[in-house]
Amino acid sequence: MASGARSALTREAVLEAAAALVRRHGPDALTMRALAADLGTAVTSIYWHVGGREALLDALVERTVAELGEIRPSGRTPEQRVVGVARELRRQLRDHPHLVALVHERGLTERMFLPAQRVLVREAHAAGLRGARAAEFVRAVQFQVVGHVLVERNRERAPVQQPGERELWGSQAAGDDPALARALARPVDTERLFVTAVRALVRSLLARPSRLPTRAPDSVA
């Protein structure tokens, strides 16, 4: 399964093959031996070019994070633009499910979010937030988005839950609110829930200060 196995082995080639392996079969499939087989080399050659498995994963994460696209805010109010940024970021993370797994496994969740921080800072300023307040806003949105994606990913991977919401809320259980029981027994519409939650958070945090007139940010890089 090696593609072009005749040229000399390169750090780039190793990372490329590793990325392909993860993309197709998930992070667990990335073993040094399988990777070497794909490359048509000895296992130990990988160690010379990129170091051990830890270093390989580090490089892989860095590489894939760099590939994430730009985030361009659009919308009339800061609230609309921030919700848009959050949705775009969520979409990007969902498009790279294995990357999210890798990043989380390696404790680099924060790294994943750095590209979006600048954009959010600009929106915070546009909404009249400054200093520590603006920083708090940026981080609240960051934790919200990344946390939601992690929980989502986890749910999708989860098998049938034993005493799940289904059974728990299936019968009466909810007292005098059958509509609630039905809603909790249904699977979650995560997209909708995400937008609702982000909008609620943003609305509260942006509403607190002096309420300056809302204008577009200086420039959209």
Give the binding site for a copy of itself (CB under 8 A).
62, 104, 106-111, 114, 117, 121, 124-125, 130-132, 134-136, 138-140, 143-144, 146-151, 154-155, 157-159, 161-165, 168, 174-175, 177, 179-180, 183-184, 188, 193, 196-197, 199-201, 203-205
Considering only 52, 69, 164, 178, the residue that binds DNA (CB under 7 A) is: 52
Within 72-202, strands assigned E span: none
The Cα angle at residue 42 between residues 37 and 45, in degrees rounded to 5: 120
Q: For residues 47 and 143, which CB has a smaller minimum distance to a copy of itself in the complex? A: 143
**Which among 102, 108, 74 has a CA at the least distance from the CA of 88?**
74
Shortest gap between Cβ of 30 and DNA (angstroms)?
Answer: 7
Q: What are the CA-CA distances from residue 56 to residues 44, 95, 145 (Å)?
A: 13, 22, 27
Q: For residues 43 and 168, which CB has a smaller minimum distance to a copy of itself in the complex? A: 168
Q: For residues 27 and 40, which CB has a smaller minimum distance to a copy of itself in the complex? A: 27
Rg from Cα positions in the chain = 22
**Interatomic CA distance for residues 78 and 82, integer angstroms:** 6
When CB distances are held under 5 to 8 angstroms depending on the partner's kind, the choice from DNA, a copy of itself, none that residue 135 binds is a copy of itself
**Interatomic CA distance for residues 212 and 189, integer angstroms:** 35
Q: What are the CA-CA distances from residue 175 to residues 1, 172, 178, 182, 184 (Å)?
A: 59, 6, 8, 12, 13
Interaction with DNA in 1-30: which residues (CB under 7 A)?
Answer: 8-9, 30
Question: Using an 8 Å Cβ cutoff, are 140 and 205 in contact?
Answer: yes
Pick the stretch among 31-39, 86-94, 115-123, 173-181 that binds DNA (CB under 7 A): 31-39
Considering only 24, 54, 172, 176, the residue that binds DNA (CB under 7 A) is: 54
Q: For residues 95 and 189, which CB has a smaller minimum distance to a copy of itself in the complex? A: 189
Q: How far is CA 178 from the centre of its chain?
A: 35
Q: For residues 35 and 141, which CB has a smaller minimum distance to DNA in the complex? A: 35
Q: For residues 41 and 64, which CB has a smaller minimum distance to DNA in the complex? A: 41
Considering only 41, 64, 92, 142, the residue that binds DNA (CB under 7 A) is: 41
